[in-house]
Chain A
Amino acid sequence: MSRPLHIYGGRVVDPSQGLDSPAAVLIVDGRIEAVGLGVEAPDGAESIDATGLTVSPGLIDVHVHLREPGGEHKETIASGSRAAVAGGFTTIWAMPNTDPPIDSPAAVGYVRAAGRAVRASRVMPIGAASIGQKGEQMTEIGELVAAGAVAVSDDGHPVHNSGLMRRLLEYTQTFDIPVLQHAEDPGLTPGGVMNEGPVATALGLRGIPNAAEAGMVARDVLLSELTGGHLHVCHVSARQSVDQLLWAKERGLRVTAEVTPHHLLLTEELVRGYNTQAKVNPPLRVEEDVEAVRQALVEGVIDVIATDHAPHHYDEKEREFDDAPFGINGLETAFSLCMKALVEPGHMTLSGLIDRMSCAPARIMGLDTGTLRQGAPADIVLYAPDESWTVDPARFYSRSRNTPLAGWVLPGRIMRTIVSGETRFEAEGDA
């Protein structure tokens, strides 16, 4: 393979080994060879000067929408995985709610192969839980896993039928993969476009109550208890869902959960003025919910941060609020938004954040990345935690620009992203 790579002069933050100190990282044959203050570059090694930068295991996002096939005007596997490395992500899990959905081995194989061809972030396909994501008949999960699927989900929609959810949590155990659930009781959300609360009342918009999410989480937690299956709750937004997760964790159930960067900071107030950029499902909630999910993440009741990167074309968001699609473009702002929501106010250390965005996802999903331990794949991110930048959606690598953060000044700049020892992203103007 390529020459050894020596990253020196930086501060290494790797919570998987409890590391937070100046150190060099040596990479040989795409894997971590050594990390330490005295680690020298062998002859012929390529060197990267990381002076002033922080070096951590690459970020892992278990929830992105790449839109290909069928939605290439919003995003492609190529544009999405380039956006990922620009955001510091070395691994992304692609949701199967494409058109057609990823419910066959061939489709899983396509996403995997297309992802590899881009040579940006690793792209791991999630298979549909039910055929056509219709919530009726289980997909051939064994075949999907054989083709490279790392999990199953009907995300975009919930698995509404309790019987099907039970069978999924049972059947997936053979393959040791999680069921990723978009927790929403559709009977409670007809026509809902934002959080049910004071802002929806004033704006005359139909609401999505917290109970629609928390009720489904409660049911699913009980089904995990019944079956022993690995339930992963997507994008937790409601404080009552946190209570259900806490109950599950206290009983030691195989239940994990994620929260998005936007739910860690933004509230429904952002919707005022009918701002379609703030239209997302689950919706932005109220301050009490933001505090609850933030606290749950700090305490480990919510395990990981995942973006729910949901790109949409400009025209689709430039519509009446009711008609605009749900979703926030997240990959390129995630790290910085989390810095602002968690590290800057002191809720979490930088090391804690790296754990929730890299080590913890690897841990709960059984990946060999998310660490700088010797022998691990050299998936690494170099960044300047204290450097601010202004969000300019026109500069996104994503094909879409749908973010409520345009013009925001955020801390934390991704400078270089390395996958398997190969630089896949480098910030412009990098010294």
Chain B
Amino acid sequence: MNDKRPDSGLGKDLIGLETLSGETIRAILDTAEPFKEISERAIKKVPVLRGKTIVNLFFEPSTRTRISFEFAEKRLGADTVNVAASGSSVVKGETLVDTARNLEAMRIDMVVIRHGSSGAAQFLADRIPSNVINAGDGQHEHPTQGLLDLLTIRDSFGRIEGLKVCIVGDVIHSRVARSNIFGLQKLGAEVAVCGPKSLIPTAIESLGVQVFAHVEDAIQWADALNVLRLQLERMNAGFIPSLREYNRVFGVSQARLERAPVDTVVLHPGPMNRGVEIDSAVADGPQSVILPQVTNGVAVRMAVLYLLAGGAPERAEEAKKGEA
């Protein structure tokens, strides 16, 4: 099936949204729609990927993304193996290229990779014929997160074109930010970022986004906010003085949201630091779509797996019933 070029416009791999066309991204989102329903069934399994073997290769700890991929794979009937970096040959000094060759020698169909180095997914994809799905590479991209964010925004507004979306927080270290910027722009949204300048890349304008120095201004401007996780390490590395101050200056609070001219939709890729980048009242409030994001994550990943396995977007509905 690997040699088939799916009609979706996806190539062999999904490395990032930067290289995909708007049309392809739309096709993935449209394909995710019929797959949403599978997870609502009593028996959550269809034979779309029966006989396919998938390795989930996680060099960095991950709970949500790994589980989401695993559910997507299992609900589509694939055989899956999880490999975590600790306890694998990686800690024995094996290089990524050797890991790739060994996986290939076992004739697997797909690899889902999470890795701490930007470019690691591309590196693997260039060296094995299996389909490679990037589940987050360093500070580069996290395309399935970007896609599930897009799907959630589309669910909320019925469209993406013309919307104003602001990504708030640690943009410089965020693969989620990059995938959002690329994906949203390709679907016609306006994108801004907001955060302390120490956490915004110096050349961010080259990506065609505007920068807000004050979160209040960002909230005034945006239809949707995507609030990024602020990692404790950033404080220790001197990017910000303290988490407490970060919350005071950049935290998305109910009080700040209430001053917005529209009901701003709030996303967060998780895991959340309640009381740091986002207040609980917002996270649990009516404008939050954080849990629908998680639900959509499984559907989007099913769609990506199905399309990379050679499925056609317009036949997803039949495939789901086991007819295609």
Contacts and interface: CB of A to CB of B under 8 A. Distances in A.
Interface residue tally of chain B, by bracket?
Answer: 20 to 34
Contact of B202 (A209, A320, A322): A209
B138 interface: yes
A202 interface: yes
B119 A197 contact: no
A416 B116 CA distance: 48
Contacts of B178: 202, 204
Contact of B117 (A197, A207, A273, A322): A322
A51 interface: no
A203 B119 contact: yes
A322 B138 contact: yes
Residue in B95, B118, B178, B202 whose Cβ sees the most chain A Cβ within 10 Å: B118
Contact of B201 (A201, A315, A318, A322): A201
A204 B123 contact: no
Interface in B203-231: 203-204, 206-207
Interface string A307-336: 000000001001111110000000000000
Interface in B223-270: 237
Contacts of A205: 118-119, 138-140
Interface in A187-203: 190, 196-198, 200-203
B202 A204 contact: no
B97 interface: yes
A209 B203 CA distance: 11
Interface in B80-110: 95-97
Contacts, number: 68
Nearest to A322: B117
Contacts of A319: 95-97
Contacts of A209: 202
B74 to A, nearest CB: 29
Residue in A205, A318, A320 whose Cβ sees the most chain B Cβ within 10 Å: A320
Residue in A197, A200, A203, A205 whose Cβ sees the most chain B Cβ within 10 Å: A203
A197 to B, nearest CB: 5
Contacts of A323: 117
Contacts of B112: none
B122 A274 contact: yes
A204 B118 contact: yes
Given A204-B178, A319-B96, A198 B206 contact: yes
Contacts of B97: 318-319
B175 interface: yes
Contact of B203 (A190, A197, A274): A197
B197 to A, nearest CB: 14
A286 to B, nearest CB: 10
Nearest to A318: B97
A110 to B, nearest CB: 31
Nearest to A195: B203
A320 B203 contact: no
A37 to B, nearest CB: 57
B170 interface: no
Contact of B139 (A198, A204, A320): A204
Given A319-B95, A319-B96, A320-B123, A274 B202 contact: no
B143 to A, nearest CB: 12
B186 interface: no
Contacts of B140: 203-205
A144 to B, nearest CB: 37
A305 B219 CA distance: 53
A223 B134 CA distance: 49
Contacts of A321: 117-119, 123
A177 to B, nearest CB: 38
Contacts of B95: 315, 318-319
Per CB-CB distance, the 4 closest pairs between chain A and chain B, nearest first, are A274-B119, A204-B140, A204-B139, A198-B206
Given A204-B178, A320-B119, A320-B120, 9 more contacts: A196-B202, A201-B204, A201-B206, A205-B138, A205-B139, A206-B139, A207-B202, A274-B123, A322-B138
Interface of B: 18, 95-97, 115-120, 122-123, 137-141, 175, 178, 201-204, 206-207, 237
13 contacts: A200-B201, A201-B203, A202-B207, A203-B119, A205-B119, A205-B140, A206-B139, A274-B118, A274-B123, A320-B96, A321-B118, A321-B123, A323-B117
